[in-house]
Amino acid sequence: MQSFDLVKPSTLAEAVSALAADGAQALSGGQTLIPVMKQRLAAPSVLVSLGGIAEMRGVAAAQGVLRIGAATPHAAVAREAAAHYPALAKLAGGIGDPAVRNRGTIGGSLANNDPSACYPSAALASGATIVTNRRQIAADDFFQGLFTTALQEGEIITEVQFPIPERAAYVKFEQPASRFALTAVFVAKYANGVRVAVTGASNDGVLRWKAAEERLSANFSASALSDLNLSGADMMADLHGSGDYRAHLAKVLTGRAVAAS
């Protein structure tokens, strides 16, 4: 790891100002950034830790919406969201290991948009709103491909707002080595329809499986998917599975998520 300055602001305003520095990089848990820095693949000159900003932490439910501060670690979401949005709490409680869950944050995960991460699927399937220091971004507009989001330079996620569904479930099939999602599916059923998000599978990152959403909106049952198939052509292929395998898993896991919700 190369040397860097660490700034620990206590307010959002201080963080925004610190991030304006040349070579500054936000740190929100660091579960990806720190290993990359250790490998010298990234060498920011200033790290701005978002962990000490009180206004960016916490979980609260009101009027059918669950609001999670962006700097809230996964372990806190697993605990505090359980009563309001159990599927989301379960997802958070299944990320990595205890060390990761107590360091990694929801904002850090969404901003990184790893194609195999868990949280993007929950945000997308819930039609969540990503709130930043500048604006509100709909999840449908936020995720823009592998490790790419709508965030602009210096923009900080402050909060994520999840409309609470009637029913939901997240089913993850773990990649055997990393235990990230080899493919995972989040299904959420709302009064106005069902949303299905698939992570770990597509070459373009987290995706909505709209054909499945239509079927499930009409008939919320795994059998509604029986003659539906995703194409493996645009899916990731690596040591752990072909595109066809991932496409197949997406279907199987969607059915299981419906059954588990």
Partner 1 sequence: MPKDEIANKGGIGASTKRREDLRFLTGKGRYTDDINIRGQLYAHFIRSEVAHGRIISIDASAAEAMPGVAKVFTSADFAQAGSIPCGWQVTDRHGKAMLEPKHPILAEGKVRHVGDPIAVVVAETLDQARDAAEAVVIEIEELPAVMDMKAAVAGGDLVHEELGSNLCFDWGFVEENKAAVEEAFAKAAHVTTLELVNNRLVANPMEPRVAVGDFEEWTGQHTLYTTSQNPHVIRLLMGAFVLSIPEHKLRVVAPDVGGGFGSKIFHYAEEAFVTKAAHILKRPVKWTSTRSEAFVTDAHGRDHVTKIQLALDAQNNFTALRTDTYANMGAYLSTFAPSVPTWLHGTLMAGNYKTPLIYVNVKAVFTNTVPVDAYRGAGRPEATFQLERLVDQAARELGVSPFDLRRQNFIQPDQFPYQTPVAVVYDTGNYQATLDKLVEMADVAGFEARAAESKSRGKLRGFGLAHYIEACGIAPSNLVGQLGARAGLYESASVRVNATGSITVFTGSHSHGQGHETTFAQVVSDMIGIDASQIEIVHGDTSNTPMGMGTYGSRSLAVGGSAMVKATNKIINKAKKIAAHLMEASEADIELKDGVFTVAGTDKSKTWVDVTLAAYVPHNYPLENLEPGLEETAFYDPSNFTYPAGAYGCEVEVDPETGKVEVVAFSAADDFGNVVNPMIVEGQVHGGLAQGIGQALLEHCVYDENGQLLSGSYMDYAMPRADDFPMFQVDHSCATPCTHNPLGVKGCGEAGAIGSPPAVINAVLDALHRGGFTHVTHIDMPASPSRVWAAMQR
Distance (Å, whole) CA 39 – CA 250:
33
Q: Between 62 and 177, name the residue whose CB sits nearer to partner 1.
A: 177
**Position 227 contacts partner 1 (CB under 8 A):** no
> Which residue stretch of 85-93, 144-152, 196-204, 248-256 sits at the interface with partner 1 (rule: CB under 8 A)?
248-256
What angle, rounded to 10 degrees, do the helices at 210-218 and 243-260 form? 30
Q: Does 6 bind partner 1 (CB under 8 A)?
A: no
The residue from 110, 182, 187, 258 that contacts partner 1 (CB under 8 A) is 182
Contact with partner 1 (CB under 8 A): which of 240, 250, 254, 257?
240
* 9 torsion bin: left (phi>0), alpha (psi -120 to 50), beta (else): beta
CB 222, CB 260: distance < 8 Å: no
Q: 2 vs 18, 24, 28, 129, 180, CA distance in Å?
A: 20, 14, 19, 36, 28
Which CB atom, from 66 or from 236, has the smaller least distance to partner 1? 236
Which of 140, 238 has the CB closer to partner 1?
A: 238
Phi, psi of 41 (to 5 degrees): -90, -15
Interface stretch with partner 1, choices 10-18, 57-65, 159-167, 175-183 (CB under 8 A): 175-183
Output 165 or 232, the one with its CB closest to partner 1.
Answer: 232
Closest distance between partner 1 and the C-beta of residue 252, in Å? 5
Token pair belonging to 42: 């990234």
Binding mask 25-44 for partner 1 (x = CB under 8 A): --------------xx----
CB-based contact 119:198 (threshold 8 Å)? no
